[in-house]
Amino acid sequence: MARQRLWTEPRINALGRLRGLPELLRGERVRSLAIGASITAALLIGTGLMIEATGGATTPLVHLLYIPVVMGAIIFKSWGGLVVGIIAGVISSPVATGAVEPASAWAMRTLILAGIGWTFGTAHELLQRRLSQTKELVSRLSTVHARTLSTFASTVDLRDKPTSGHSSRVAHNARAIGIALGLAQETLRAVYWAGLLHDLGKIAIPERILQKPGSLTPDEIVTMRRHSDIGANLLMSVSGDLRQIADGVRSHHERWDGSGYPRELREEAIPLVGRIVSIADVFEALTCNRPYRQPQPVPEVLDFVRQRNGVWFDPELVPLLEDLYWKGEIYTAASVETQLPVEEPPVIIDTEPAENDSLLRLRAIYRPDYHLGSSGRP
């Protein structure tokens, strides 16, 4: 049985013609090399003609030969730089220019040009190798970070099973809002991961509070409200590169009017990632089923969000959320049959009461309906 060819193999037939050469010559790399060789040759010829027209190697124009030599070194590496350097030396020789010059001077110039080409080409090769290694390392670190974040997300779902799937829907909806805003890719990535991990800090919240069917006591509310800080600190303990995600996690319960927690930030002082996750979180929480209540109809939830436009939420995001929902780009628990897939040092958790716990406790007493967040609770 004949061997199956999985690619076009250049081979020579009886007439000695190389098959597959057209495909080879159509390659991007070959085209780039051809263009580079043409430019280098044009520079060599042009410089040689100028040197000849101005009196030979004694003219300062001879130094222009460094340009094609360096270009040859960049395009064709060390050996290419060496060859172009020798050619440059020949072009500037008395034989080519017709000028009177000692052979030793021409030979030394050729040696210098060839040496520069070789040295520059070698240095360029080393730099490219280092850059390639750095790029590979960054790619590996990104993969490690993504796997770590995915593991965190799975941990949240396992820790709080009644809200399983909530975080992935918040992540999807937050990213849809970010895309509509035209955010940069890195910010969009932070929006997605902050949405997926906004409840990460709940792994430190007792189950009796997370799964309590009734109302929370003021002390339990204070404990629950610490989850945003805990989640952000966990992320920062993994890597400082996750700061934008951590800031989104920390601020997803802040409110546009400054009535949120944990920092009481207001308006533009709230990180954009946190503002996006906040509105996506509340919308999803109110439209999904919880042990202590049934999901609310989407029109009622949208009305709830509109009433808090400029109070809880960024005024720019409220109409955007509604528009995206009616376009079918915002998910609810009822519209998604299965859980959405995730796309992409020792941890020290402060268990002591926060300095502003007394303030939070007062709010819990006098404002029991203060916030319906990621679990439909304060």
Show which residues are catalytic.
202
- Please state, in angstroms and rounded to a whole number, the distance separating the CA atoms of residues 262 and 244: 17
Torsion angle, alpha carbons of 256, 257, 258, 260, to 10: -70
Q: Is 309 helix (H, G, I), strand (E, B) or coil?
A: strand
Single-letter code of the amino acid located at 61: L
Name which of 326, 324, 327, 335 is nearest 299 in CA terms: 326
Can you list the pairs that 353-357 forms with residues at least 24 positions away whose Cβ atoms lie under 8 Å?
Answer: 353/222, 354/226, 354/229, 354/262, 356/262, 357/222
Q: Residue 12 phi/psi, 5° resolution?
A: -105, 125
DSSP-based three-state secondary structure for 264: coil
Contacts for 119 with CB less than 8 Å, ≥ 6 apart: 81
- Give residue for tokens 């805990």: 230
Are 328 and 344 in contact by the 8 Å Cβ rule? The answer is no
Query: How many CB atoms are closer than 10 A to CB 52?
Result: 18
Task: Kindly provide the residue ranges of all beta strands, DSSP E only, lying in the chain, ordered along the sequence.
Answer: 11-12, 18-19
Please give the structure tokens belonging to residue 152: 């965190």
Torsion of CA 302, 262, 368, 277, to 10 degrees: 20
Contact by Cβ (8 Å): 167, 197: yes
The three-state secondary structure class of 334 is helix
The three-state secondary structure class of 11 is strand
* Rounded-to-integer distance, Cα 271 and Cα 278, Å: 11
